[in-house]
Amino acid sequence: MNSAASSRVPRHIAIIMDGNGRWAMQQGKPRLHGHEAGVHAARTIVRAGRDAGVEALTLYAFSSENWLRPATEVSFLLELFIRTMAVELDTLHDEGVRVRFIGDRTALPSNLLAIIEASERRTASNPGMVLVIALGYGGRQDLVQTVRALGAQIEAGALKAADLDEKTLRDALDLGDLPDPDLLIRTGGEYRISNFLLWHLAYTEFYFSDILWPDFSSADFHQALAWFAERERRFGRTGAQVHSERGDQDAQ
């Protein structure tokens, strides 16, 4: 890989961390053990992203559909989030990481809400990578809530329907203040986006890995970065237009 390609680090990476349950079954252990192992993988990849110069990393930790899982598994996952943030927050803060959560918080237990709010307050001014944790998040839910909020503004006379455009809608979404993901990584061998960031992934590069999430290493992450660096991102333009624009930039 040439030096120009190696310097093309995605500004924003989104990850669907899939395969915890299957990994545990392969180990002959309960599914819940896989979720604990997945936390260790997440810790490794957060550090790898920060060290690589990624500006924002969004992890799909718990989807709006995950509420339909068995109650024991849901309770375990929520408790795992609480324990993980209690352990990791000091380190993330010391490393300058800014922690944010997106998703519907209405069904979350009060002790988890307290940790979420404390984490966001404590790290709000940190200058480093933004770590976004999607918790109780669904892409369709995000769009519906945004449309409702904009509709309320129209009803109140604060916004005109004629003034609605893509930017207005995008800015009102959960990640409206961050650049759209340049790269989506999904582990576990599945080839779908599972209701994740539906608006934001319009021009994202998709990288699918057969590796189950607990086994996804820093080396695997860097392999995804290397793959991304070789991609030609056209955004609907032709290859000739892209190369022409690059030539103009080089001449400046």
Binding site for Mg(2+), by residue number, is: 18, 205
* CB 175 within 8 Å of CB 230: no
d(CA 15, CA 184): 6
d(CA 41, CA 71): 24
Q: Tokens 């992890």 appear where?
A: 59
Residues annotated as part of the active site:
18, 66
* CB 2 within 8 Å of CB 169: no
Q: What are the two backbone dihedrals, phi and then psi, of residue 16, each rounded to the nearest 5 degrees?
A: -95, 110
* CB 24 within 8 Å of CB 192: no
- For 14-47, the DSSP string reads EEE---HHHHHHHTTS-HHHHHHHHHHHHHHHHH
3-class secondary-structure state, position 62: strand
| Binding-site sequence positions | 18-23, 31, 35, 63-65, 67, 69, 186, 192-194, 205
Residue 103 zone, left/alpha/beta (φ > 0; ψ -120 to 50; rest): left
d(CA 19, CA 22): 5
| Binding-site sequence positions for substrate | 19-23, 31, 35, 63-65, 67, 69, 186, 192-194
Q: Tokens 């006379």 appear where?
A: 157
The tokens describing 31, both together, are 């599914």
d(CA 221, CA 205): 14
